[in-house]
Amino acid sequence: MTTADLSITAAASDDPRIRRLVHDLDADLAIRYPGDIGDPGGHLDPAVRFLLAEFDGRPVGCCAIQPFSDGAAELKRMYVIPAARGQGIAVRLLAEAERLAAALGHPEIRLETGLHQPEAIALYTRAGYTTIPNYPPYQHEPLSRCYAKRLP
């Protein structure tokens, strides 16, 4: 698989492919944070916009952008299936999410990830995200880390 063969398209939050990927993400988070993941599917705004990554018609990843209360965008539900990791899919998804957020007029994108997700932290850091204070509802979560990036 090459990222040139990858398609990334918009998808509805109730699309069965998105629902399956989000379910798999929640299962992964439950392993990384046993008994401590709160409401993994929560905090989604009705205006959320999902992106679906597919290779050869098979869903391999997703992420979402939703408006943040102050006009920024928030990256949510970023996930790539284990069999497709290490092939640049997350980099492409993140770039598409940033383009979408900028096209929607958001000057900044923020996200929350966890300390037990070093691959996510590395991805975001390489992409130019910097740490910021944990924002609500993560402000009292010791395993959470929040990041932000200004958009062009």
* pLDDT for 3 beyond 70: no
pLDDT of residue 47: 87
pLDDT digits (tens, 9 = 90+) for 24-83: 999 999 999 987 655 555 567 888 999 999 999 999 999 999 999 899 999 999 999 999
Phi-psi map region of 146: left, alpha, beta (phi>0 left; psi -120 to 50 alpha): beta
CA 42/CA 46 separation, integer angstroms: 11
